Structure formats: structure tokens, C-alpha cells
């Protein structure tokens, strides 16, 4: 076509016109297209190929591609065109619909930049670092090229501002899972869990997308000073559901209730007549409580502490004292253990009292006493 005819045909177009074109040549910094239904060529500068920064034109298009374009400038023999503007116009409509519906969609991470991630949705979408995951991520370098789910959290076409969040999707899924788990829980259930976090009052255990609290008193049958003495973060544990508060989304759990009880098989561990090592735990007016196994205390009644009469257990025992005891009786069902210290002590010889006399003199003395009484009566 002559230059004169090109000039005539070019004048048929105005800035803003939409045209279709086929890529005929891809250069480093621009693309040549043939305008459909004409023999006119158009030029797409590299800056008008994509909403994202690209190093070379071949990153965005290839020869033979059919493109929808907008006229940016009418020159003497060619049209300066934009693919980016057409893509953006279509994209804004689609994105506004997604935003209004709160839709979740997938997109590929095109680039990792300072402060977050970049996504190409026909327009440049930005994912701030704080909105990538529900947990802290130190290095985002391996996110480039990944396809993940997003929701639009901010959209302003006039300012060309599009903010995306993957974290919102994750938290929404976690919320649904949490509700599902909450609805399925019942007191008495025994579940597998993972210790997530330890505090001074207990441990939070993940039981499938939701955390429940194991209070320090429910960690062990033994007294626990610090939860970290008993469990560690990441530890797999079995827990029993104690209660579920749906309104406040609180779950109370117990590790202790999944463990063998200290009184289990106590009849075998402490049969009647057996001798055990124990520690004095508490002294009361009627006796002493002796711990013979972790979590198992038995009572030594005051009458079973010593052969001699004592007023209070404090006279012969003190808390923390270690000693041996004999099992007098065991009741596994009622968690009762009767113990004796006295039966393991040698009986002391009875001391003679002042008024006791030798056998041979008892009769004589008795006669004298009777005689004296008779004399008094006869006077």
C-alpha cells in the first residue's frame, strides 16, 4: 500500500477507538501488529503491553497472537496502540464484580517486591506482606510463580489501586473449619491434638483447626508447678473434651483424664499386708495422709501411728517425712487406702507404774490395808 493510501486509512481512526490486530513482529521494545480488515500496521510500545513491568516484549505476546487494542495516537502512517488499556478496562469490570460478591479466586504471583507480592489481573494487584498469610513469613522469595487464592480487600479504579489478600481467604476457611469442629464436639470425647502454645496457666492444644485449653490442673495427676515441665510445643497428645462453650468458642480439655489413673489397679500395686515407702503429705487431728504412689494418698489413723498414746500426729510426725507403712485395707472403687505405721514398729515394753508391787508382797499388803479399814469402822 502506498504511503498516500496509508495516510488516508490512518485518518479513519481516532484516539480511543477499539481495534483488533494480529502480531506480525515482536521486537525487544515494541510489537508490530496488522489491524484487522485493513492493511494498516500498528505499533504497541512495550509500556503498553502489560500492567506489569516487563523487560522485553516477548514476555507478553508472541507472533500470531490476536489482540484487542485501543488507539492511543494517530500518526501519519501508523497507529500507536495499547493492549494494556483494553485489558485493564475489561479487568476492572470483572474485579468490581468479584469485589462486590466477596469472591475467592486464584492468581499467579508475578513478582516479589519490597513490602509484598505483585499479581497481574489485567491491572496490577498488590498483596501487602501482612496480608499474604495468617502467620508471619520472613522470606517471600519462593512465592514467585506460585498460584494461590485471593480476595479483593480494596479497589479504587480512579487511583488504579487494587489490594488483594490471601490471609483473608485462609482466615475465612479457618473460621468455617472452626465452626464445623465446634459443632461436632461433645463432652467426653477423646481426641488427638497438638500442643500449640504454653502459658503459665496451662496449654492450648489444636484439635483440628481450633484450640482448646488444658488448664494446669488437667495436665497431670501429680502437682504441676509449670506446664512446660509436662508438655512441649508441637507435642502430640491425647485430650478429653470437658466442656464446649459455643457462644464464646471456648473448649476445655484434659490430658490427665486420658492417662491411667493413679488409683487404677491399686489393689495389685498395694495389696493388703504389703509394706510401702511413703511421704507424709498432710497432718490432721485424726491422723496422717501418706503418699505411697504419685497421686495416691492413704490414711494412717492416729491410733495406727504409735503403740503409745499420742494427743496429735504432730507429736511424732512432720510433713515431708519419709517412712514405711503397712497396708491394712484397700478400696479401689472409693479410692481409699488404710495404712499403719505402728504395725512396723516393735512394741515397747510396758513400764511399771508406781503403785504396782512385786507379786510376793501383794497379799500381805492387801491384808494390812483391809485390817486398817476395819479398825476405823469399829471406832
What CATH number does residue 294 fall under? 2.40.50.140
Cβ contact 78:43 at 8 Å = yes
Q: Does position 336 have pLDDT exceeding 60, yes or no?
A: yes
The size of the chain, in residues, is 379
Residue 209 lies in a domain: yes
Q: Does position 90 have pLDDT exceeding 50, yes or no?
A: yes
Question: Is residue 238 within a helix (H) or strand (E), and if so which, with residue range?
Answer: strand 236-245
* pLDDT tens digits for range 11-46: 678 888 899 999 999 998 999 999 887 778 899 999
Mean pLDDT of 79-88: 90
Which percentage of the chain shows pLDDT scores above 90?
59
Mean pLDDT of 298-310: 94
Count structural domains, the chain: 4
Determine the pLDDT at residue 176.
85
Mean pLDDT of 228-238: 94
Residue 240 and residue 313 in one domain? no
Determine the pLDDT at residue 364.
45
Residue 180 lies in a domain: no
Q: How confident is the model at residue 1 (pLDDT cuts 50, 70, 90)?
A: very low
Provide the sign of the torsion angle of the four alpha carbons 183, 188, 194, 195, taken in this order: positive
Residue 333 and residue 314 in one domain? yes
Residue 52 and residue 11 in one domain? yes
Q: Which three cell numbers stand for residue 112?
A: 516479589
Residue 64 and residue 134 in one domain? no
Q: Does position 352 have pLDDT exceeding 70, yes or no?
A: no
343 burial level (CB within 10 Å; 0-12, 13-18, 19+) = middle
Residue 69 lies in a domain: yes
Q: Does position 378 have pLDDT exceeding 80, yes or no?
A: no
> How far apart are alpha carbons 238 and 328 in whole angstroms?
36
Residue 359 lies in a domain: no
Cα 258 off chain centre by: 19
Domain hosting residue 56, numbered range: 3-84
Q: Does position 372 have pLDDT exceeding 60, yes or no?
A: no
Q: Does position 332 have pLDDT exceeding 50, yes or no?
A: yes
> How far apart are alpha carbons 18 and 69 in whole angstroms?
6
Residue 324 lies in a domain: yes
Listed residue (136, 254, 135, 260) closest to 203, CA to CA: 254
Residue 376 lies in a domain: no
> How far apart are alpha carbons 281 and 170 in whole angstroms?
51
Residue 356 lies in a domain: no
Residue 251 and residue 274 in one domain? no
Residue 281 and residue 226 in one domain? no
Lowest mean pLDDT among 112-121, 288-297, 323-332, 368-377: 368-377
Which percentage of the chain shows pLDDT scores above 70?
88
Is 0.85 surpassed by the pTM of this model?
no
Range of 172-176, 221-225, 266-270, 316-320 with top mean pLDDT: 316-320
Residue 276 and residue 332 in one domain? yes
Residue 9 and residue 80 in one domain? yes
Mean pLDDT of 307-316: 92
Listed residue (116, 98, 251) closest to 169, CA to CA: 98
Mean pLDDT of 218-237: 91
Q: Which residue has the higher pLDDT, 324 or 367?
A: 324
Residue 206 and residue 158 in one domain? no
Mean pLDDT of 263-280: 91
Count of CB atoms within 10 A of residue 322's CB?
A: 9
> How far apart are alpha carbons 70 and 60 in whole angstroms?
17
Q: How confident is the model at residue 95 (pLDDT cuts 50, 70, 90)?
A: very high
**Can you state the percent helix, strand and coil of the chain, rounding each to 5?**
25, 35, 35
Determine the pLDDT at residue 9.
66
Residue 313 lies in a domain: yes
Out of 170, 197, 229, a domain closes at 170
In sequence order, the β-bridge partners of residue 14 are none
Lowest mean pLDDT among 195-199, 270-274, 364-368: 364-368
Amino acid at each position: 500500500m502506498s504511503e498516500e493510501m496509508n495516510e488516508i486509512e490512518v485518518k479513519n481512526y481516532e484516539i480511543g477507538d477499539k481495534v483488533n490486530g494480529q502480531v506480525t513482529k515482536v521486537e525487544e521494545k515494541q510489537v508490530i501488529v496488522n489491524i484487522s480488515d485493513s492493511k494498516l500496521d500498528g505499533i504497541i510500545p512495550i509500556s503498553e503491553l502489560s500492567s506489569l513491568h516487563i523487560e522485553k516484549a516477548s514476555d507478553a505476546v508472541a507472533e500470531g497472537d490476536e489482540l484487542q487494542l485501543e488507539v492511543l495516537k494517530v500518526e501519519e502512517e501508523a497507529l500507536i496502540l495499547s493492549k494494556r488499556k483494553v485489558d485493564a478496562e475489561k479487568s476492572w469490570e470483572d474485579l468490581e464484580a468479584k469485589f462486590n460478591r466477596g469472591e475467592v479466586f486464584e492468581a499467579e504471583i508475578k513478582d516479589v517486591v519490597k513490602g509484598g507480592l505483585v499479581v497481574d489481573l489485567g491491572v496490577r494487584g498488590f498483596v501487602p506482606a501482612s496480608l499474604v498469610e495468617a502467620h508471619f513469613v520472613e522470606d517471600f522469595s519462593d512465592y514467585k510463580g506460585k498460584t494461590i487464592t485471593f480476595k479483593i480487600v480494596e479497589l479504587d479504579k480512579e487511583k488504579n489501586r487494587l489490594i488483594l489478600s490471601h490471609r483473608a481467604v485462609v482466615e475465612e476457611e479457618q473460621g468455617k473449619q472452626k465452626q464445623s469442629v465446634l459443632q461436632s464436639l461433645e463432652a467426653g470425647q477423646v481426641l488427638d491434638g497438638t500442643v500449640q502454645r504454653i502459658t503459665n496457666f496451662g496449654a492450648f492444644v489444636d484439635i483440628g483447626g481450633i484450640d482448646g485449653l488444658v488448664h494446669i490442673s488437667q495436665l497431670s495427676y501429680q502437682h504441676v508447678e509449670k506446664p512446660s515441665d509436662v508438655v512441649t510445643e508441637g507435642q502430640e497428645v491425647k485430650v478429653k473434651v470437658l466442656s464446649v462453650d459455643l457462644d464464646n468458642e471456648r473448649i476445655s480439655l484434659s490430658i490427665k483424664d486420658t492417662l491411667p489413673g493413679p488409683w487404677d489397679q491399686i489393689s495389685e500395686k498395694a495389696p493388703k499386708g504389703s509394706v510401702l515407702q511413703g511421704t507424709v503429705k498432710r497432718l490432721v487431728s485424726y491422723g496422717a495422709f501418706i503418699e505411697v504412689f504419685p497421686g495416691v494418698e492413704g490414711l494412717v489413723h492416729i491410733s495406727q501411728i504409735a503403740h503409745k498414746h499420742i494427743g496429735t500426729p504432730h507429736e511424732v510426725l512432720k510433713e515431708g517425712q519419709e517412712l514405711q507403712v503397712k497396708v491394712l485395707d484397700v478400696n479401689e472403687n472409693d479410692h481409699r487406702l488404710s495404712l499403719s505405721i505402728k504395725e512396723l514398729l516393735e512394741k515397747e515394753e510396758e513400764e511399771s507404774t508406781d503403785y504396782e508391787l512385786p507379786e510376793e508382797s501383794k497379799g500381805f499388803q492387801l491384808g494390812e490395808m483391809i485390817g486398817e479399814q476395819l479398825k476405823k469402822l469399829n471406832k
